[in-house]
Amino acid sequence: MEQWQSFFVAQAGASAALAGRLFVAVSINLTWILDLDRKEHSRLADRAGGALITLIGILIASSLLLVPTSSTTIPGLGLLAIGLINAIYQIVNQVRRWHTIEKQYRMRGAVLGIVGVLASAFIAVAGISILLVGFGGIAWLAVGVFLSYLFAVEETWVLLVEINR
């Protein structure tokens, strides 16, 4: 587990920095994000929420795995809970957004939604793997983290740049 310590330190810092970028994006475009009269903007707050819960999940998971322990129970259950909560949120969020996405953007929205759910699933799988086989299953988390970043950066990009096009 020691060989993963610098990875988790880096992920805690990166996820916190990206969450800060998300807060900047939301604060700059808050009027647009909260303007519920525009159909195309009616789910922008959901996009911000999806990105935020993803980044905070990585921050909590990385911090949890930096706590020295020889037990696999707490880290395993923690990752499983983070993954399941995030996956449920992402699925509900994507289903709600589907009807507001213009037809030409639905494929992109579906792919992004799948990436968000897969990222959460890999985090949950890491938790299950740690519970069943020990810390050797931690590599699943790395996949979940990288997919989470893809998802969160795309959502943040939309909230920061694409919203103004």
Tell how far CA 30 is from the center of its chain: 21
Overall average pLDDT of the 74-101 stretch: 91
Question: What pLDDT band is residue 11 in, cutting at 50, 70 and 90?
Answer: very high
Residues with Cβ within 8 Å of 6's Cβ and at least 6 positions away in sequence, in order, are none
Overall average pLDDT of the 94-123 stretch: 87
The DSSP annotation for 61-104 comes to HHHHHHS--S-SHHHHHHHHHHHHHHHHHHHHHHHHHHTTS-GG
Overall average pLDDT of the 3-26 stretch: 91
Question: What pLDDT band is residue 88 in, cutting at 50, 70 and 90?
Answer: very high
Three-state DSSP at 4 gives: helix
Question: What pLDDT band is residue 37 in, cutting at 50, 70 and 90?
Answer: low
Identity of the amino acid at 157: W
Please report the sign of the dihedral spanned by the C-alpha atoms of residue 37, residue 114, residue 11, residue 125: positive
The domain locations on the chain are 2-164
DSSP assigned state of 92: H
